[in-house]
Amino acid sequence: MVQDYLIYSTAWASFGLVHSLLAREKAKAVLKPAFGAFYRAAYNVLAGLHLVLVYIIGFMLFDGLVDFNRPEWLAVSQGLLYGLGWIVMLWALREYDLGKLAGIKQIREHFQGIMAHDEEPLHFNGFHRWMRHPLYTAGFMILWGRVSNDFDLMTAICGSLYLIIGSHFEERHLIRLYGDHYATYKSRVPAFIPWKGQVDLKEPKL
């Protein structure tokens, strides 16, 4: 069983490493000229396929597991957390340009002769007034809300570590991109738990 945990953790580590490396400026400088407007979409497809592979490995390793014997109050609480996580996720996504996030907008504008920017602008509205990473917060809620066996538990642990480490690298990039404006936002707004209250800041433009 320990070997299964190590293999699954390694699979998650490979996903985090590849995903992070491809998001770095050096990787973009090398790959983007080759992919052009298709870079963001290709990046998302590769990340999605890699994550599916990680889950398949997990399903194979932990096949036939028996669910934990959870008290009813815990199962109900997790169900509420899971459902609320999806509500937060879907609501927070409304604040993004989903076409640009997916890479579809860049491809469409490429064929219209328009040079599209890959970077998503900073968001200080909606949930972003309370926490810097509402999508990651929703991810935590979904991951831990569905824990009912060893596979779910390992997925929640590895997924949470990926989100925490990934947010660190993402914020380093945002500080390089937006400078003091993002540094000020970071100092005033919590990362995942909205314990400071609402903050109003003007959104900068690229």
- Note the pLDDT of residue 199: 75
pLDDT of 65-121, one tens digit each?
Answer: 788 899 999 999 999 999 999 999 999 998 888 888 888 888 887 777 776 666 667
Helices (DSSP H) in 62-199: which residue ranges? Answer: 72-93, 98-102, 104-111, 134-145, 150-178, 180-188
Vertex 51: Cα angle to 23 and 191 (nearest 5): 55
Q: For residues 41-62, b (16+ Cβ closer than 10 Å) or e, as one string? A: bbbeeeeeebbeebeebbeebb
Q: Which CATH number fits domain 2-188: 1.25.40, 1.20.120, 1.10.3470, 1.20.58?
A: 1.20.120
- Note the pLDDT of residue 160: 96
- Note the pLDDT of residue 206: 44
pLDDT of 152-204, one tens digit each?
Answer: 999 999 999 999 998 988 888 888 888 888 888 888 899 999 887 777 666 55
Q: Give pTM, 2 decimals.
A: 0.86
**Contact present, 51 and 107 (Cβ < 8 Å):** no
- Note the pLDDT of residue 172: 87
Whole-Å CA distances, 133 to 70, 105, 127, 166, 170: 30, 23, 8, 11, 10
Q: HSE, CB side, 13 Å, CA atoms: give it for residue 22.
A: 19
Task: Delimit the domains of the chain by residue range.
Answer: 2-188
d(CA 6, CA 55): 14
Say whether pLDDT at 124 is over 60: yes
